[in-house]
Amino acid sequence: MKVKAIGVATHKTDAAKNWQRGMRHTGITSELVGLGQPYSFDMKIKLALEAMKADLDTDIFITSDVYDVLINKSVVKNIKKTGSVKDHILNTFYSFEKPIVVGAEIPCFSHNCYEFSFTDLSNLVEKEYKYCNSGLIIGYRDHMIELYENLKDCKDDQMDLGELMNKYPENFALDTESKLFYNVYVYPNKERLKKALFVHFPGMKYIVSSAVGYNDFQTQGYQPLNLPKIAIWSVIGFLIVVGLIIFLLYNFYWGLNPDTRAKINYPIVEY
């Protein structure tokens, strides 16, 4: 069986390079689509759909977020002691006995707070991770294409994904135990990191804990994010502050004529 991971990215940032580096350790093919294109909300779905349709040779696709997903290299190392990472991915996927497996997460925000009414998802109500996250999905080609056809015009991909899972439970499994996909919430769970191969830090642009978690996790051997940019902006910020101080001093003191400055420098009166 041929497996391919597809990610959508507009720019090849350090995070995108980390994604590619990690995927190389899995032994499966990966493809970045969307490079150089202007960002739009629906590009994640539509470009992944186009890539899957164009690839007639791949049997199983993994669709993955790029900028906030890393491959768990410690898990890769352990898997390689006894077998191949590709076989591990396939065997884990097969164990769900469903054509599509979706990553699960804890939080119930407005965009994905869908109350599942079906019971065929490993006693979902009792699970801590029971909400779908569209950042990591694996499935057979035909089923994935059908799924993405249904999502391509959606307003909220996770809400619509939840509705489809609710309507067609026979086609979906939710990775509630992070056997393959782990969506980190607030801080990484060590037990889940022992088995999850794909680690997702949702909301890095808005949630500090996700950004901190990603940068801590990248010490496995990935490129730290944006360190050159941070240094550059720190220098620029320092120069702006110094320039502002000089500007204010000149306008309110140094730039004044000597008589005015003398009036400001009141003489010390001795009593």
pTM of the model: 0.77
> Tens-of-pLDDT digits for all 271 residues of the chain?
999 999 999 999 989 999 999 999 999 999 999 999 998 888 999 999 999 999 999 999 999 999 999 999 999 999 999 999 999 999 999 999 999 999 998 865 544 455 555 455 544 545 677 788 999 999 999 999 999 999 999 888 888 898 899 889 999 999 999 999 999 987 788 899 999 999 999 877 656 667 767 777 777 767 666 544 544 555 677 788 888 887 776 665 555 556 655 555 555 455 4
Which helix (DSSP H) or strand (DSSP E) does residue 198 occupy? strand 198-200
Q: What is the pLDDT of residue 261?
A: 52
The two beta strands, 60-64 and 131-140, are antiparallel
The two structure tokens encoding residue 242: 């110094």
The string of pLDDT tens digits covering residues 189-217 is: 889 999 999 999 987 765 666 776 777 77
Query: Which residues are CB-neighbours of 85 under 8 A, at least 6 positions away?
Result: 25, 26, 27, 28, 76, 79, 197
